[in-house]
Amino acid sequence: MADVYINSVSAFLPNEPVSNEEMESYLGFIGGAKSKSKRVVLRSNKIEQRYYALDKEGRPTHSNAEMVAEAVRRLFVDPREMEDVELLACGTTSPDALLPSHAVLVHGLLPEFAGVEVISNAGACCSGMQSFKHAYLSVKAEDKSKAVCTGSERMSSHMRATFFEEEIKYLERIEANPYVAFEKDFLRWMLSDGAGAFLVEAEKKGDGPSLKVEWIEMCSFANELETCMYMGAEKDESGKLIGYQDMSIQEVVQNSVLSIKQDVKLLSENIVSKGFAFLKQLLEKKNIDVSKVDYFLPHMSSHFFQDKIYAFLKDNDIEIPYDKWFVNLKTKGNIGAGSIYVMLEELLHSGRLKEGQQILLAVPESARFSYAFCLLTVHY
């Protein structure tokens, strides 16, 4: 089977960076009042700036597909190379439409491509890694020789205050607390927009660096744990998820069902232990000496989890010192499925990589607790 290399990595972040103080200017004030949770959440996640595909009036400036198409174009020094791409795999939590699929919408914005195979991966943070694995396996099996995979989000559109107006009006009418629940408001200060892309090929490029893909492993724990993060649905008292298709239009609007929500308690109890116990099993199975890892890129929704991840690794004899960690959450924000692409893009262009170094990628997904890990080796 063929070796597989990431020969180019790109990112696209829309507009100018948005500071913590500016966030509600873009997203709006729910019920005309400042958020009660914003300061607490930002103090915990330690994000200092992020990017929105919105202008200061809250109007969209880019679709998800448009951001991805721009990231894909940035992979190529010579646009003529795009004609040789045989596969486009795209992952996101926040497609622009239910139908056509996300990857098809992206392909429609890339006339530089010929007719290519496309695949759309749905889900949360791991959807970008699912696209990567599809590209990796297609090249490794020699089914394709040149593939592009992407991860992206446009979450800002789901977090605008206008999304919650009817819910607030309904709460006021029934004399309930006229504020949206914490599990909805919490994520308004956590998520942002952007896109990233990898060019995956069977031969490394001559002017390096190229990143050889040693392995990609993924696992879901949905058989053990209930839903933690969800959109377009509500949980009943037993934890069962009820989709918007089984609700009236009035219920969907009054309860902001199309907004994204997260069970914070369920998240904090499980996100670290489940995923990094899986990593320990992988390292043992593959006989990997974690001390030989040069860079550790963990996707984190919040810096709240950094010390918890480190403590788990240390307690399980797979400690990775902080000086090997590379994260850009503070400056790029949490882009969900796009975060690992944007992190790797920054590291690749930092000038820090040397021949033979190893990079460990870690992507936890809280939707129903899925995890992806990948080991890369630097080649020039």
Report whether pLDDT(235) > 80: yes
Determine the average pLDDT of the residues in 170-192.
77
Phi, psi of 76 (to 5 degrees): -115, 125
| Residues 42, 142 within the same domain | yes
Report whether pLDDT(326) > 60: yes
Determine the average pLDDT of the residues in 215-238.
96
Q: Which of 284, 312, 314 is nearest to 300 (CA)?
A: 312
| Residues 362, 277 within the same domain | yes
Report whether pLDDT(178) > 60: no
Q: Which region among 73-77, 111-115, 147-151, 170-174 has the lowest average model confidence (pLDDT)? A: 170-174
Helix axis angle for 126-140 and 339-348, nearest 10°, is: 60
pLDDT in the model for residue 113: 96
Phi, psi of 298 (to 5 degrees): -90, 125
Give the span between the Cα atoms of 247 and 283, in whole angstroms.
45
Distance of CA 228 to the CA centre of its chain: 16
Q: Which of 182, 210, 238 is the last residue of a domain?
A: 210
First-to-last alpha carbon distance for the chain, in angstroms, is 21
| Residues 24, 162 within the same domain | yes
User: Does 10 reside within a domain?
Assistant: yes
pLDDT in the model for residue 74: 98
Q: Compute CA distances 342 → 55, 74, 158, 200, 376, whole Å.
A: 22, 13, 21, 16, 16
| Residues 193, 179 within the same domain | yes
Give the span between the Cα atoms of 352 and 347, in whole angstroms.
7
The amino acid at residue 218 is M
Q: Which domain range does residue 218 map to?
A: 214-226+261-379
Q: What is the DSSP string of 63-84?
A: -HHHHHHHHHHTT-SSGGGGGG
pLDDT in the model for residue 163: 83
Report the CATH number that the domain containing residue 291 is assigned in CATH.
Answer: 3.40.47.10
Cis amide linkage into residue 209, ω under 30° from 0: yes
Query: For the segment 5-28, what is each residue's pLDDT rounded down to a tens digit?
Result: 999 999 999 999 999 999 999 999
Number of domains making up the chain = 2
Report whether pLDDT(318) > 80: yes
Phi, psi of 273 (to 5 degrees): -65, -45
